Amino acid sequence: MEKNKINILLVEDDIFLAGIYQKKFEMEAYKIVVADNGEKALVEAKKKKFDIILLDILLPKLDGFAVLEKLKADPETKPIPVILLTNLGQKDDVDKGLQAGAVDYLIKAHFKPSEVVDKVRAVLKI
């Protein structure tokens, strides 16, 4: 899988943080689309074939758990791996996210953007 053909959907309502991640992924030659709320995330996910979705949990309109549930309930978006990227670090939240179908759960404060890129590579096996 070539990097410049990888499409990532980043769902993050913090514009500053979204910009940092976006720059980092673009520097690595990935294509990235940013959605700043849960409803937009679902619209974007249906519009384009994404290879992976990075999903925050605390979002306006529809939280990340609801978005994840809808993505996994839809045959079109179900196969897309979802990494939860959030500051909610409670074990209950982690368990809930993984049980709902996320492939990984990253706590923003513990991971630098470059490490998030590494996680994406690991999940996509590139």
Domain that holds residue 93: 3-124
pTM assigned to the model: 0.95
Alpha helices in the chain (DSSP H): 15-27, 38-47, 64-73, 91-99, 113-124
User: What domain count does the chain have?
Assistant: 1
CATH number of the domain residue 54 falls in: 3.40.50.2300
- Confidence at residue 2, expressed as pLDDT on a 0 to 100 scale: 65
Beta bridge partners of 8: 32, 52
Question: Per-residue confidence of the chain (126 residues) as pLDDT tens digits?
Answer: 666 689 999 999 999 999 999 999 999 999 999 999 999 999 999 999 999 999 999 999 999 999 999 999 999 999 999 999 999 889 999 999 999 999 999 999 999 999 999 999 999 998
